[in-house]
């Protein structure tokens, strides 16, 4: 049922809505006179994308902001000791989940009652219809659990990757310019503007260098460290017997760091995935930011599409620069992100795509 949510047809219908959410967000970042905390704002962006695009909820901005704060409290306490005591993280997480589910139930009921003005089928629509096709009418509790799972899946890892993408574009202006050159050569970017109607799914999928950039971000800064699997049949590995029924963990990050196919593993080099080198093609499981095998991440194509749409907007319509003297250190938990969130100043653009610099902004110097 969930696989239909991430089909090619579904992604095609989500794309214009994803673009709109990203455009509105970058406009808000540029209108802020102060530098923004990219990681925190990227969390807001991915949460808004999940609510507005995936679920199609028409929640007012003020209420959406309150729901985001509750959701953050829920996420912060997911990995807590299961001790249901007053003031414990577990209790805070349970209460946050209850508040979230009340808000989600209200949004679901409003959505089911108001079907007018819909111009695309969102993930929740597909989930409901797919359930019916399989002879199962989903209960309200199942719908609430399904929507919470979709938000959770689209939230932290995508915010992490979005932040890493922005940081690498800041660190490597030549990569940013090469992205712009590809957009111009494909007729997507002209005179500093994205050509109307040019951002279709097939066009985005034809951008080979953009694909290389996203792959390299996910190789070097894989949001999560690994995954868990259950052993279906006893086997041996390097002389050790792993019994049937055991749980094992595979490390994505260590695999990327030690895989012999990658040269200069610590260097950010999108060209390693280009046609001339294709380092990810030399082995089946050397590159696995979304896991591998039959349990690979269902939402990987949506995640990559979101990151590509963000990169296109950043390369086409944004000017931004690091607001601190040095780049921040990276922490790996709960997902990869800069320790201070990455402070960046975004600049607004006028109708001629020139930077609007006034007052202290003009003193900040050249932008990327």
- 61-94 core/surface letters (b: 16 or more CB in 10 A; e: else): eeebeebbebbbbbbebeeeeeeeeeeebeebbb
| Residues 152-197 pLDDT 10s | 988 999 999 999 999 999 999 999 999 999 999 999 998 878 888 8
Mean pLDDT value of segment 267-295 = 89
Q: What is the pLDDT of residue 136?
A: 84
pLDDT for 358 equals: 34
Q: What structural domains and CATH numbers belong to the chain? A: 4-220+299-347 (1.10.630.10)
Q: What angle do CA 290, 280, 6 make, to 5 degrees?
A: 35
β-sheet bridge partners, residue 345: 321
Q: What is the pLDDT of residue 31?
A: 95
Q: How far apart are the C-alpha atoms of 59 and 67, rounded to whole Å?
A: 10
Residue 118's pLDDT band (boundaries 50, 70, 90)?
confident
Answer whether residue 22 shows pLDDT above 80.
Answer: yes
Q: How far apart are CA 368 and CA 345, in angstroms?
A: 11
Q: Is the pLDDT of residue 252 over 90?
A: yes
pLDDT in tens, 132-156: 888 888 899 999 999 999 999 889 9
Spatial separation of the C-alpha atoms in residues 44 and 338, rounded to whole Å:
16
Distance separating alpha carbons of residues 61 and 57, to the nearest angstrom: 11
230 backbone dihedrals φ, ψ, rounded to 5°: -105, 135
Q: How far apart are alpha carbons 153 and 147 in whole angstroms?
A: 10
| Cα–Cα distance measured from residue 359 to residue 112, given in angstroms and rounded to the nearest whole number | 50
Cβ neighbours of 268 (radius 10 Å): 18
The whole-chain average pLDDT of the chain stands at 90
Q: Confidence band (pLDDT; 50, 70, 90) for 120?
A: confident
Label residue 355 by pLDDT band (50, 70, 90). very low
CB 57 within 8 A of CB 67: no
Averaged pLDDT, 41-50: 97
In this prediction, residues 1-6 reach a mean pLDDT of 84
Q: Token pair of 61, please?
A: 């901005």
What percent of the chain is predicted at pLDDT more than 90?
Answer: 75
- State yes or no: 193 annotated in a binding site: no
Integer Cα distance of 298 and 289 in angstroms: 12
- Place 318 in a pLDDT band, splitting at 50, 70 and 90: confident
Residues whose CB falls within 8 Å of the CB of residue 354, separated by 6 or more in sequence, listed in order: none
Average pLDDT over residues 43-65: 95
pLDDT score recorded for residue 196: 83
pLDDT for the residue numbered 119: 82
- pTM of the model as a whole: 0.91
- pLDDT tier for residue 349 given thresholds of 50, 70 and 90: low
Side-chain half-sphere CA neighbours of 37 within 13 A: 9
CA nearest neighbour of 39 among 331, 306, 364: 331
């Amino acid at each position: 049922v969930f696989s239909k949510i991430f089909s090619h047809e579904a992604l095609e219908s989500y794309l214009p809505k994803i673009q709109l959410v990203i455009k509105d967000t970058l406009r808000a970042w540029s209108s802020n006179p102060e530098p923004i905390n990219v990681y925190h704002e990227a969390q807001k962006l991915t949460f808004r994308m999940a609510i507005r695009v995936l679920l199609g909820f028409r929640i007012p901005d003020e209420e959406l902001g309150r729901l985001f704060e509750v959701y953050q409290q829920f996420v912060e306490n997911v990995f807590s000791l299961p001790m249901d005591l007053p003031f414990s993280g577990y209790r805070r997480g349970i209460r946050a989940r209850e508040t979230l589910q009340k808000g989600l139930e209200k949004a679901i009921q409003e959505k089911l009652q108001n079907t007018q003005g819909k111009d695309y089928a969102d993930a929740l629509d597909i989930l409901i219809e797919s359930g019916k096709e399989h002879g199962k009418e989903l209960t309200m509790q199942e719908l609430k659990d399904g929507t919470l799972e979709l938000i959770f899946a689209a939230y932290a890892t995508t915010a992490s990757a979005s932040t890493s993408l922005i940081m690498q574009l800041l660190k490597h202006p030549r990569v940013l310019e090469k992205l712009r050159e590809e957009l111009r050569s494909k007729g997507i970017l002209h005179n500093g503007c994205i050509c109307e109607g040019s951002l279709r799914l097939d066009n985005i999928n034809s951008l080979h260098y953009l694909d290389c950039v996203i792959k390299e971000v996910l190789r070097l800064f894989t949001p999560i460290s690994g995954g868990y699997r259950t052993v279906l049949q006893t086997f041996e590995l390097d002389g050790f017997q792993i019994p049937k029924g055991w749980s094992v963990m595979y490390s994505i990050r260590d695999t990327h760091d030690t895989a012999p196919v990658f040269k200069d593993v610590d260097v950010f080099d999108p060209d390693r995935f280009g046609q001339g080198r294709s380092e990810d093609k030399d082995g089946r499981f050397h590159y696995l930011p979304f896991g591998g095998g039959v349990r690979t991440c269902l939402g990987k194509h949506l995640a990559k599409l979101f990151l590509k749409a963000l990169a296109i907007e950043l390369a086409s319509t944004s000017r931004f620069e690091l607001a601190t003297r040095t780049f921040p250190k990276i922490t790996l938990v709960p997902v990869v992100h800069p320790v201070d969130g990455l402070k960046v100043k975004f600049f607004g653009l006028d109708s001629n795509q020139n930077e609007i610099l006034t007052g202290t902004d003009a003193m900040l110097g050249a932008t990327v």
